[in-house]
Amino acid sequence: MKNSLIDKRHKIGMPLLLLVILASQGLIILCLLGQWLSVHRLSKKQLAYVQMTSGEVVALKAVDADARTPETIRLFVSKTLYLMFNWSGEIAGADGKKISDKGQEIELEGERIKVPTAALYASYGCSEELRQPLLKKISEIVPQGVFGGGTQAILTIDHVSIPKELAPGSSWEVHVVGKHRLMRGSSTVKVVPFNKKVYVQSLTAPWVPGGETPLERTVYSVRKSGLEIYQMDELKE
**pLDDT tens profile 58-72:** 555 665 656 789 999
pLDDT of residue 121: 92
User: Domain spanning 70-234: which superfamily?
Assistant: VirB8 protein (3.10.450.230)
Report pLDDT digits (tens) over 147-183.
887 889 999 999 999 999 999 989 999 999 999 999 8
For 21, 27, 38, 41, 83, the CA distances from 33, given in Å and listed in that order, are 18, 10, 9, 12, 53
Around Cβ 124, how many Cβ atoms within 10 Å? 18
> Any idea where the domains of the chain sit in the sequence?
2-61, 70-234
**Helix 128-141 and helix 70-85, axial crossing angle in degrees, nearest 10:** 40
pLDDT value at 46 more than 60? no
Which amino acid would we find at residue 133? P
pLDDT of residue 68: 84
98 φ, ψ (degrees, to nearest 5): -70, 135
Pick from 5-14, 106-115, 153-162, 214-223 the range whose average pLDDT is largest.
153-162
pLDDT of residue 20: 60
Residues 6+ apart with CB under 8 A from 233: 196, 197, 199
For 79, 108, 185, 196, 220, the CA distances from 97, given in Å and listed in that order, are 21, 31, 20, 33, 23
pLDDT of residue 82: 95
Report pLDDT digits (tens) over 20-30.
666 666 677 77
Report pLDDT digits (tens) over 75-130.
999 999 999 999 988 888 778 788 888 999 999 888 899 999 999 999 999 999 99
pLDDT of residue 209: 63
Mean pLDDT computed over 189-193: 91
Mean pLDDT computed over 32-50: 60
pLDDT value at 53 more than 60? no
Q: How far apart are CA 178 and CA 190, in angstroms?
A: 14
pLDDT value at 5 more than 50? no
Which band of pLDDT confidence, cut at 50, 70 and 90, is reported for residue 2? very low
